[in-house]
Amino acid sequence: MKKNLFYLFIALFAVTFMTACGDDDDDKDKDTGINVAGSYTGTIIINITDEESENPIKLENQEFTVTQNGQESINLSISGLILQEGLDPMNINVPNVPFSVDGEKVILNSTNLNIPLKVLGDLDAYINSMVGDFQGSEVSLKIVAEQELVEKVYITVTGTKK
Query: pLDDT digit string (tens) for 119-130?
Result: 766 778 899 999
DSSP class of residue 34?
-
Q: What is the arithmetic mean of pLDDT over 58-84?
A: 90
Evaluate whether 116 touches 90 at the Cβ level (below 8 Å).
Answer: no
129 phi and psi, to 5 degrees? -150, 155
Residue 23, exposed/middle/buried by CB under 10 A (0-12, 13-18, 19+)? exposed
Cα 96 to Cα 134: distance, rounded to the nearest angstrom:
16
pLDDT of res. 52: 75
- How do residues 17-67 score in pLDDT, each as one tens digit? 555 555 554 444 455 567 899 999 999 998 887 777 788 989 999 999 999
Element (H, E) at 146: strand 138-147
Mean pLDDT of all residues belonging to the chain: 81
